[in-house]
Structures are given as structure tokens and as C-alpha cells.
């Protein structure tokens, strides 16, 4: 539905300026529209640009007052019209928060006389706060003062809305070209019981389709004439009274005309497997143990909640994360630990104030495709903390390299799935200095691997021996992750050896091209390569670790170093059905340690 609407609209219009408006006008779900946009963008049917808008929404507290009235009015109404009521009695009538806020606001408004006995000062009050909240719920705009006062009372908050503007892309077509991956029974038989055809057998053994009635939408459409050659007539002859959907006229039963996806017989092996093994070796040499990462489906609990990532965090939106429809929720979580996690989100502890919102079990239960391997790290650390409680604490160095998934538009450098490399150290008394030291060690080993790797593919003018040599400096920039504090983005500075020149681009020293086109400019550049930090007490303490245990950790994508190693500039050459095994066969293996 959404796909037809978008492609159809662009046939006659230059642009969809706002996907939200577009969905609303057509009664479509914006999430569905966004998913279709991402997919069509990936296949270059359309060009999509992000748009972000801030909208004012009610907080949970705001929603309650919009429904039940503001605390001050609730309190006012609880005070009798004549006479007075004691504090204690009034308190019994109201919710504690409503009582507390109600007292201060009603007194401020001079509605009630406070004291041990509380009485009314006025006879009628208007619930302006409730009216304003209802106006916001209605999408109306308020004046600046009203906005500020609601915001100060934390009854409203800004929410970032994400959508797209869309234009025709380089491969635009009004309909998606469908290529089949397998020849199915349906292709041969042509049976899809949805529509009823009215057709006439004509003298020259051709079928003339006069019209078809769709059983779903009940419209009658003239579908014109279809010849026997197309295979469609054959299908109709066999199932004259059977039903077909209009859309399926050319595909169902039309095995002669189907375009099949090409098989890639050489896609068995993966270039990355090799790089992955090398990087595993780096970790093993550094005495790290591999974590078991064999689960792509994870619960939101381990992927987010255990990592102190609040339930309203934008990454937990279906725009960014793939949630599972079936099974939609997890069956089992460690209940005692869940309770601790809930508590730390809601009200903190261990020196933290928490987030102060109502933590919902339903959110934590939702299954998803893990968005980072840190989900595995949280499971492993929890197990380690349990072990420490029962027996004794054992320091650990863990690593993992495996697949993660993000709901992103697919392009030259992004896939909806990629691999993450992750390392962590858990021990007593670790500091940021330890983290920096471990990162220096890890990345200099990685740089050595890159320096000695070479690309010697089919394009022989891309011979790249000893890609770079020289300095490998790291620089750190303060960053933010919900689960680490402090957090640091890792940047790497490379100065390339200028003694080699690339025969293709003739730039001296630029042997990594073209993804690192930045190296063309003077061959010096800081490049972001990873993310790191120290896990927060809000994550570690609920697991059961004692206060003196710290965890330092870092993560980066596997695709980056692999692309560098092989001078590959399109991530799809590295991952997926287009991978060329020839590259592996023809590439002489890199020799570690030999320049
Ligand atoms: N999980 C982070 C990411 O997905 C990487 C990371 C791991 C950051 C460990 C800090 C500590 O980017």
C-alpha cells in the first residue's frame, strides 16, 4: 500500500516534502511509510532526505492531569465549599503527589487557606492547566508563557519527530521490478484466489480479458488483452473461473516471463572471515576470552534496559531498531535482577538519581534483532557478577565479533546489518588510564595488521603492497553513551608512507582508495574508528558487582578495517549476495609482521 502510494505519487509529482503529512493524508501508518522509504532508497528508486521536527507532547504526568484535572483543582475540589478540612483527612482523599503539588499550587493561586485546617478562599476555579494540556494533545500551539510554565512543571516535553522528504531516484520506476529468487509451484500453476476474471476465448487461440473483479476491493477494471505467449493466457485457460489479483496478472503463473535473480555461485566464502580471524588472534594474544554471541534475537531488556538505556531513548524506536513480530516478547528474564534494573531506572541508587520515569516491563519484554553486541556483554557481566556473589570475583577480559542489526537506509557505506568488534575488561580499580592503554595496544596491533595486508585483486593496477606504515596515533573525544561514563570516541591519525604511489589515482602514498578519499588531501587525517567508555555503576551495581569493580569497554565495526585492508569502497562488495569469492581465491594472504 505505502509503496504503491509513494511510487505512484512520484510519477506525477516532483517531491513528497513530508512523509508524515503524506502518511496522514492517506490514512497510512507513518512507520510503514518510513520502512518503505528506506527500502526504496536503498534500491535507488527514490532519494530520501531526513527531516527532523520537534513537537511538544505531554509527559506521563501531563497525560494524567489532562484526564483527571490538575493537582491544584483536584485539591480544591476536595476541600468542602463551607467550613474546612484537616490536613490529614485531605491527604487521605488524594494521591500523595497530587496532594503535595496541589497544596503548593493552590496556595500560590490563593485558592485555599493553608494551615492545620484547610478552607476555600474562592468559590469557583477554572482548570487552566488541564485546558492547556488538552490543547497540546489536540495539536494546538500555545503562547510562550504557557509553554514555559508547563515545561517548568515537567508536564510537557519536546519529542523529536523523524521523517523524510522524497524525490525520484536514479533508478525510479512507478512499480518495483520484482525478481524471483526461486521457481515455485505457484509460478508454474498460477493459482492465487483473489479476483474473478471475466474472459473470452477468441478464435485465434488467444484470450481477451474483458474485465476483472477484485474480491478484495470489489472494483471492476478493464485489464485489456493478454496473449497466450505471455503465459498468462495459459493460466487463465487452466483456471478460468479461478480468481487472480489484478497485480498478479503478469507474475502469477507467468513462469516464462519471470526475471530471476542471478545466483552468485562464488559467494560461499567471505573475505571478512579472514579478517575476523586475524582480529580474533589479536584479542587472543592479548589474553581475551571470546563471548558466545550466537543469538541474533535479543530482548529489549538485555539490549537496552540492563545497559541503563531509558525506555524513551530514540534508539529504542522502530525507526532505528528491528522489533520482532513473532515471537514478539521474551519468555524469561531473571526476575530479581529485573527488579533491580527497574529500580535503578526509576529512582537510581548507588549515588545516582535514576531517570525518574515509570519503567515498564512490556517495553523490556519486546524482542528485537540485537542492535549491538553490548547486549552479550551485559549478559556475560551479569553471569560474572552472579558467580562473584556465589563464589568469588574473577577478573575477566572478554571480546566478541559478530553481527548486529540497525534499521537504516542501505547505501554505499551503510547496511542494515554489520559486524561489531567489542572488547571489555572487568577488574577491581580500573581507570580511564587503563582503557586508554588497552586501546593503544589493541589499535597498534590492528594497524600492524593493516600495514601488512595487501590487496592484489583482479584489477591489477590496484596492487597495493604495504598499505601504510608509519605512525598510529589515537586521540579521544568526550562522547555520550547511556551505559558508559566517561565515554570516549576513538580517533586515529595516520600518516601514510609516501614511498608508494597508487597506479590508479597517481596520488603518492594514497593506497587506500577510494573510501578513504580523505587521504587524498594531504595524506593526514583524523578518522573516527570506534567508541569506548567505562560502564556506569547504574549498569554494574544492579548486576551485583561490588563498588570497587569497574569495566572498561570499546566497540568498532568489523567492516571498517576490512574495507581498508582490501581497498573496497562499497560495503555491499563485502557483505551479502554480491560478494566475490574470486577476491579471496586470487588474493595472496597477508603476512603478518613482514614488510
Ligand atoms: N555499543 C556501542 C555501539 O554500539 C559500542 C560501545 C561498546 C561503546 C562498549 C562503549 C563501550 O556503538
Running along the chain, 595 residues long, what does each successive block of 10 average in pLDDT?
91 93 92 90 89 88 94 94 90 91 92 90 92 90 89 89 92 81 67 36 40 39 38 33 36 59 59 76 94 95 97 87 92 96 96 95 96 97 96 96 84 73 96 94 76 38 34 79 94 54 40 32 59 96 96 87 57 54 46 33
Atom nearest to 422 CA in ligand 1: 7
d(CA 46, CA 183): 29
Asked if 240 contacts 553 with a C-beta cutoff of 8 angstroms, the reply is: no
Nearest to 246 by CA among 196, 289, 288: 196
Task: Determine the Cα–Cα distance for residues 28 and 422; give it in Å rounded to an integer.
Answer: 40
Residue whose CA lies nearest to ligand 1 atom number 5: 555
Q: Is the CB of 481 within 6 Å of ligand 1?
A: yes
Q: Are 219 and 213 in contact (CB under 8 A)?
A: yes
N- to C-terminal Cα separation, the chain: 58
Q: How far is the CA of 150 from the centre of ligand 1 (A)?
A: 36
Contacts of 550 (CB under 8 A, 6+ apart): 426, 427, 428, 429, 430, 431, 534, 535, 540
CB of 538 sitting under 6 A from ligand 1: no
Give residue 159 CA to ligand 1 midpoint distance, Å: 24
Q: Is 372 in the pocket of ligand 1 (CB under 6 A)?
A: yes
Length of the chain: 595
Closest C-alpha to ligand 1, atom 2: 555
Contact 442, 553 (CB under 8 A): no
Pick the CATH number of 60-156 from 1.10.3470, 1.10.10, 1.10.760, 1.20.120: 1.10.10
**Burial bucket for residue 483 (CB in 10 Å: 0-12, 13-18, 19+):** buried
Residue 420, C-alpha cell as written in the block? 561489531
At residue 242, φ and ψ (nearest 5 deg) are -80, 175
| 484 close to ligand 1 (CB < 6 Angstrom) | yes
Residue 301 CB less than 6 A away from ligand 1: no
b or e along 213-245 (b: 16 or more beta carbons within 10 Å of the residue's beta carbon)? bbeeeeeeeebeebeeebbbbbbbeebeebbbb
Given this model, what pLDDT does residue 128 score?
Answer: 93
pLDDT at residue 343 in the model? 97
**Are the C-beta atoms of 560 and 535 separated by less than 8 Å?**
no
Q: What is the pLDDT of residues 139-149, one digit of tens each?
A: 888 888 999 99
Nearest CA to 173 out of 3, 53, 408, 358 is that of: 3
Equal CATH topology for 2-51+161-168 and 60-156 = yes
C-alpha to C-alpha distance for 551 and 427, rounded to whole angstroms:
7
> Which residue, judged by its Cα, is nearest atom 10 of ligand 1?
532
Alpha-carbon gap, residue 323 to 146, rounded angstroms: 38
| Alpha carbons 206 and 230: distance in angstroms, whole number | 10
Measured from the CB, is residue 555 less than 6 Å from ligand 1?
yes
Which cell numbers in the block locate residue 452? 601488512
Of 306, 401, 422, best ligand 1 pocket probe by most atoms within 8 Å of the beta carbon: 422
**Protein residue closest via CA to atom 9 of ligand 1:** 554
Considering only the top CATH level, what class is 2-51+161-168? mainly alpha
| CA 334 to ligand 1 centroid distance, Å | 24
Q: Write down the pTM of the prediction.
A: 0.59
Q: Which CATH architecture has domain 271-295+393-586?
A: 2-Layer Sandwich (3.30)
What residues does each domain of the chain span? 2-51+161-168, 60-156, 185-249, 271-295+393-586, 297-369
Task: Tell me what ipTM this predicted complex has.
Answer: 0.97
> Ligand 1 pocket test: which of 374, 376, 436, 533 has the largest number of ligand atoms within 8 Å of its C-beta?
374
Residue 531 Cβ contacting ligand 1 at under 6 Å: yes
Task: State yes or no: cis peptide before 514, omega within 30 of 0.
Answer: yes
pLDDT of residue 234: 30
Sign of CA dihedral 292, 297, 302, 307: positive
Q: Could you tell me if 356 and 345 are in contact, meaning their C-beta atoms sit under 8 angstroms apart?
A: no
Q: Could you tell which of 372, 375, 439 is best to mutate to test the pocket of ligand 1, judged by most ligand atoms within 8 Å of the CB? A: 372
The per-residue pLDDT for range 351-380, each reduced to its tens digit, is 999 999 999 999 999 999 999 999 999 999
Are 51 and 122 in contact, with CB atoms under 8 Å apart?
no
The two counts, helices (H) then strands (E), for the chain are 20, 19
Ligand 1 atom closest to the CA of 424, numbered from 1: 9
Q: Which atom of ligand 1 is nearest to the CA of 535?
A: 11
Cα of 530 vs centre of ligand 1, distance in Å, is 8
Q: Read out DSSP for 310-355?
A: -TT-GGGSTTTS-B-STT-B-S---HHHHHHHHHHHHH-BTTB---
Where b means 16+ CB within 10 Å and e means fewer, 125-152 reads bebebbebbeebeeeeebeeebeeebee
Task: Measure the CA–CA gap between 474 and 491, rounded to whole angstroms.
Answer: 6
In the prediction, which pLDDT does 413 show? Answer: 53
Calpha distance 514→138 (Å, rounded)? 51
Q: What is the pLDDT of residue 458?
A: 31
The continuous run of DSSP H or E covering 506 comes out as none
Alpha carbons within 13 angstroms on the beta-carbon side of residue 26 total: 19
How far, in Å, CA of 73 to CA of 84, rounded? 16
Beta bridge partners of 209: 199
Q: 164: which strand partners?
A: 50
Residue whose cell numbers read 553471569: 383
Query: CA-CA distance, 321 to 368, in Å (whole number)?
Result: 7
Residue with cell 566464502: 269
Q: What is the DSSP string of 24-41?
A: HHHT--HHHHHHHHHHHH
Measured from the CB, is residue 510 less than 6 Å from ligand 1? no
From the CB of 533, is ligand 1 less than 6 Å away? Answer: yes
Given CA atoms 508, 513, 518, 524 in this order, what sign does their dihedral have? negative
Query: What is the C-alpha separation between 292 and 299, in angstroms, rounded?
Result: 16
- Ligand 1, atom nearest to 373 Cα: 1
Q: How far is the CA of 541 from the centre of ligand 1 (A)?
A: 19
Amino acid at each position: 500500500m505505502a509503496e504503491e502510494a509513494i511510487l505512484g505519487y512520484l510519477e506525477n509529482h516532483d517531491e513528497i516534502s513530508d512523509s508524515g503529512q503524506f502518511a496522514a493524508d492517506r490514512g497510512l501508518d507513518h512507520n510503514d511509510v518510513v520502512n518503505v522509504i528506506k527500502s526504496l532508497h536503498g534500491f535507488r528508486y527514490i532519494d530520501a532526505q531526513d527531516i527532523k521536527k520537534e513537537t511538544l507532547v505531554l509527559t506521563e504526568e501531563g497525560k494524567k492531569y489532562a484526564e483527571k484535572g490538575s493537582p491544584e483543582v483536584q485539591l480544591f475540589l476536595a476541600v468542602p465549599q463551607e467550613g474546612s478540612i484537616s490536613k490529614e483527612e485531605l491527604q487521605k482523599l488524594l494521591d500523595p503527589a497530587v496532594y503535595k503539588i496541589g497544596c503548593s499550587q493552590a496556595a500560590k493561586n490563593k485558592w485555599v487557606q493553608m494551615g492545620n485546617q484547610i478552607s476555600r478562599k474562592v468559590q469557583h476555579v477554572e482548570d487552566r492547566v488541564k485546558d492547556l494540556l488538552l490543547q497540546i494533545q489536540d495539536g494546538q500551539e500555545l503562547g510562550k508563557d504557557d509553554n514555559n510554565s508547563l515545561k517548568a512543571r515537567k508536564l510537557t516535553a519536546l519529542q523529536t519527530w523523524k521523517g523524510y522528504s522524497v524525490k525520484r531516484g536514479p533508478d525510479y520506476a512507478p512499480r518495483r521490478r520484482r525478481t524471483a529468487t526461486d521457481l515455485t509451484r505457484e509460478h508454474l500453476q498460477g493459482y492465487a484466489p483473489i479476483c474473478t476474471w471475466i474472459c473470452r476465448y477468441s478464435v485465434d487461440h488467444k484470450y481477451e480479458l474483458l474485465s476483472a473483479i477484485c474480491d478484495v476491493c470489489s472494483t471492476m477494471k478493464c485489464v485489456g488483452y493478454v496473449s497466450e505467449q505471455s503465459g498468462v493466457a495459459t493460466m487463465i485457460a487452466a483456471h478460468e473461473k479461478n480468481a487472480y489479483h489484478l497485480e498478479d496478472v503478469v507474475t502469477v503463473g507467468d513462469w516464462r516471463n519471470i526475471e530471476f535473480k542471478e545466483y552468485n555461485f562464488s559467494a560461499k566464502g567471505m573475505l571478512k572471515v579472514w579478517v575476523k580471524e586475524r582480529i580474533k588472534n589479536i584479542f587472543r594474544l592479548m589474553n581475551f576470552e571470546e563471548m558466545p554471541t550466537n543469538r541474533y534475537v535479543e530482548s529489549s531488556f538485555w539490549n537496552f534496559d540492563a545497559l541503563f538505556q531509558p525506555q524513551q531513548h530514540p534508539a529504542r524506536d522502530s525507526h532505528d531498531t528491528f522489533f520482532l513480530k513473532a515471537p514478539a516478547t521474551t519468555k524469561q528474564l531473571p526476575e530479581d535482577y529485573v527488579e533491580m534494573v527497574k529500580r535503578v531506572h526509576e529512582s537510581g541508587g548507588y549515588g545516582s538519581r535514576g531517570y525518574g520515569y515509570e519503567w515498564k516491563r512490556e517495553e523490556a519484554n519486546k524482542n528485537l534483532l540485537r542492535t549491538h553486541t553490548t547486549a552479550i556483554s551485559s549478559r556475560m557481566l551479569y553471569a560474572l557478577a552472579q558467580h562473584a556473589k556465589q563464589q568469588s570475583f574473577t577478573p575477566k577480559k572478554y571480546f566478541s565479533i559478530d553481527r548486529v542489526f540497525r534499521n537504516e537506509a542501505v547505501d554505499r557505506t551503510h547496511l542494515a546489518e554489520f559486524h561489531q568488534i567489542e572488547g571489555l575488561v572487568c577488574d577491581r580499580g580500573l581507570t580511564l588510564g587503563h582503557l586508554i592503554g588497552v586501546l593503544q595496544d589493541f589499535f597498534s596491533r590492528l594497524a600492524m595488521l593493516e600495514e601488512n595486508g595487501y590487496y592484489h585483486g583482479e584489477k591489477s593496477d590496484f596492487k597495493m603492497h604495504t598499505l601504510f606504515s608509519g605512525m598510529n596515533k589515537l586521540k579521544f573525544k568526550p562522547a555520550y553513551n547511556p551505559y558508559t561514563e566517561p565515554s570516549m570516541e576513538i580517533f586515529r591519525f595516520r600518516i601514510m608512507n609516501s614511498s608508494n604511489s597508487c597506479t590508479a589515482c597517481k596520488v603518492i602514498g594514497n593506497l587506500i582508495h577510494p573510501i578513504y578519499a580523505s587521504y587524498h588531501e594531504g595524506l593526514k587525517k583524523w578518522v573516527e574508528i570506534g567508541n569506548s567508555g567505562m560502564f556506569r555503576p547504574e549498569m554494574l551495581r544492579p548486576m551485583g558487582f561490588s563498588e570497587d569493580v569497574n569495566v572498561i569497554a570499546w566497540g568498532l565495526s568489523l567492516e571498517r578495517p576490512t574495507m581498508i585492508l582490501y581497498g573496497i569502497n562499497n560495503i555491499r562488495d563485502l557483505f551479502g549476495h554480491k560478494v566475490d569469492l574470486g577476491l579471496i581465491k586470487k588474493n595472496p594472504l597477508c603476512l603478518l609482521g613482514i614488510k
